[in-house]
Amino acid sequence: MTKTIGVVLAGGNSTRFGEDKAFFKIDGRPMYSHVAGALEASSAIDEIVISTNQRLADCFDGLQTIVDDVFQDDGPLGGLYEVAKAFPGDRLLVVSCDAPYVSPEWLSTLYRKAVGNPDALVITKAADRLHPLIGVYQGADLPETIRQLLDARQLSMHALFEERGMIEVDAVSYGINDGTFVNMNRKTDIRFGGDESGEYYR
């Protein structure tokens, strides 16, 4: 039976942020914890793992970590490969650690779309922009496909999209505010908040 694995990507060096952004606290909680909480609240996953590097592997409060040793300097594609290899044939619901406002309802939407299209990658689109690191990666050949790209030094997520079928899911059509997908690349990006209803605002 295919499982759905919630994957928090947290293996980058956070060069632009100035410190390890996975652990930067927003509302008293580190960013990775916000993302893990959204995955848990989506009720779409069977378990959560953190994709990270060896330096940070013991820093996630007991959550299971998948360490990217071989392709640690090859960006999110390298981290995604290690998880796909660890969970062959399973569905990976992926969110980068720097998207702390991601909506659990949206993750549930992606999950449902992926279940109905088991051979396709399911990627978030909002305000005419793709968010490759908020999506579902699946398919029995996923590890092999990613490994071929890594070996060929094709390291962009778009290279993977060109190899595999992809479905873009437009958040606007579901009434989801695109502020929920903001990436915290720099500390100046931390300007969003939310109220108890789940609505997000600048």
Annotated binding site: 9-11, 21, 68, 98
> Of the candidates 180, 178, 174, 142, which has an alpha carbon nearest to the alpha carbon of residue 161?
142
**Rounded Cα–Cα distance for residues 89 and 143 (Å):** 9
Residues of the binding site for Mg(2+): 98
Contact 69, 41 (CB under 8 A): no
Is residue 77 within 8 Å of 160, Cβ to Cβ?
Answer: yes
Burial of 27 (0-12, 13-18, 19+ CB in 10 A): exposed
Are 122 and 113 spatial neighbours (Cβ–Cβ below 8 Å)? yes
DSSP for 155-194, please give it.
Answer: -SHHHHHHHS-EEEEEGGGGT--GGGG---SSGGG---EE
Q: Which residues are annotated as a binding site for GTP?
A: 9-11, 21, 68, 98
